[in-house]
Amino acid sequence: MKNYIYLSVVIPAYNEEKRIGRTLRKISEYLLERGYPYEIIVVDDGSTDGTTALVRKIAQEVSCIRLLKNNGNRGKGYSVRRGVLSSKGQLIIFSDADLSTPIEELDKLKVWIETGHKIAIGSRALPESEILLPQPWYRQCMGKVFNRLVRFLAVTEIKDTQCGFKLFMGGVARSLFKKQTIDGFGFDAELLYLAKKSEYTVKEVPVRWINSPDSRVNIFKDPFLMLRDLIIMRKNYLIKNIDEAATALWPIWGKGQG
């Protein structure tokens, strides 16, 4: 099939001029060795540096790279959603632009998709995970607190919802992202919550992980925004569940009133 794409790689990018070139070349080289048709979709989230120009330059050399540019800074969740919904792959993975989880870890996730799971996600929180360069203690504390809140409010069985390395069956990803609404960093939790509600099987897989000192998460602002996203998500889906239950019970209740 001429236009067949086996794997789509979605990369959200905001002011990534220093890292995106190395990342794109690393991913391209790795996938070329695998021999299957692929595409790399970079979603530029309103960068003010040279990210856009650099991606366009590399895309002239590597035809499998596509650039989508947001109108302003819309958030990581928005950017990943836009990339996924424009993708064509039988499988879809989204990865952080810094490759904190090396692209070679893809094979570990793909094994679980091939054995029947619909979603396989990288995890830094399992005993077998390899943290080659850890985060500073304050970021570790922030991550642990947020993960506990996610497990309390959304998905109890996932130990690490925030690792930016998640692989999906293509149709499953596009279906979930059509429903996903959070534009910021809290989108992962909503996505996994939707997967749980849809009864998709999710496999959490230990991966190698290398902290990037140039993290885009603002230690002072973003934790509060992520908590806000969680509360809004829980409220919205609680109301939706009540409405759905009421709609389902109405024929029975209505007969009783007649």
Question: Which pTM value belongs to this model?
Answer: 0.82
Residue 74, Cα to own-chain centre: how many angstroms?
A: 15
Q: What is the mean pLDDT of the chain?
A: 85
Which of 14-18, 220-224, 226-230 has maximum average pLDDT? Answer: 14-18
Residue listed under structure tokens 């992980």: 209
Number of domains composing the chain: 1
pLDDT for residue 232: 74
Residue 2 lies in a domain: no
Check pLDDT > 70 for residue 256.
no
- φ, ψ dihedrals at 56, nearest 5°: -60, -40
Q: What's the confidence (pLDDT) of residue 172?
A: 98
**pLDDT for res 249:** 43
Which is it for the CA torsion 238, 244, 250, 252, positive or negative?
negative
110 occurs within a structural domain = yes
pLDDT tens digits for range 22-66:
999 999 999 999 999 999 999 999 999 999 999 999 999 999 999
Question: Average of pLDDT values for 108-122?
Answer: 97
CA-to-CA dists, residue 140 to 66, 78, 143, 231, angstroms: 34, 25, 5, 22
DSSP string computed for 91-113 = EEEEE-TT-SS-GGGHHHHHHHH
Which sign, positive or negative, has the C-alpha torsion 158, 161, 166, 171? Answer: positive
Compute the average pLDDT of residues 181-203. 91
Q: Is residue 258, in this structure, part of any structural domain at all?
A: no
- Confidence at residue 30, expressed as pLDDT on a 0 to 100 scale: 97
Give mean pLDDT, residues 118-142: 82
**Model pLDDT, residue 230:** 72
Q: How far apart are CA 48 and CA 41, in angstroms?
A: 19
Residue 199 lies in a domain: yes
Give the range of the structural domain holding residue 89, as residue numbers without chain letter: 7-253
* pLDDT given for residue 240 in this prediction: 58
Which pLDDT does position 242 carry in this prediction? Answer: 46
List, for residues 242-254, the tens digit of each pLDDT value: 444 445 444 554 5
Is the pLDDT at 5 greater than 70, yes or no? yes
Environment class of 90 (CB within 10 Å of its CB; exposed 0-12, middle 13-18, buried 19+): middle
Ranges 61-65, 155-159, 222-226: which has the least confidence: 222-226
Residue partners of 100: CB distance under 8 A and separation at least 6: 164, 165, 209, 210, 211, 212
215 within domain boundaries: yes
Q: Is there a domain that residue 223 lies in?
A: yes
pLDDT of the residue at 189: 87
Give the pLDDT band (50/70/90) at residue 169: very high
Residue 208 covered by a domain:
yes
Specify which residues 166 forms β-bridges with: 94, 121
Parallel, antiparallel or unpaired: strands 165-169 and 119-123: antiparallel
Q: Report the distance separating Cα 92 and Cα 101, nearest Å.
A: 16
Assign residue 191 the CATH number of its domain: 3.90.550.10
Q: Percent of the chain scored above 90 by pLDDT? A: 63
Rounded to whole angstroms, the Cα distance separating 206 from 101 reads 10
Q: Please determine, for residue 229, whether its predicted confidence score (pLDDT) is greater than 80.
A: no
Residue 1 covered by a domain: no
Q: How far apart are the first and last CA of the chain?
A: 59
Provide the pLDDT for residue 70: 98
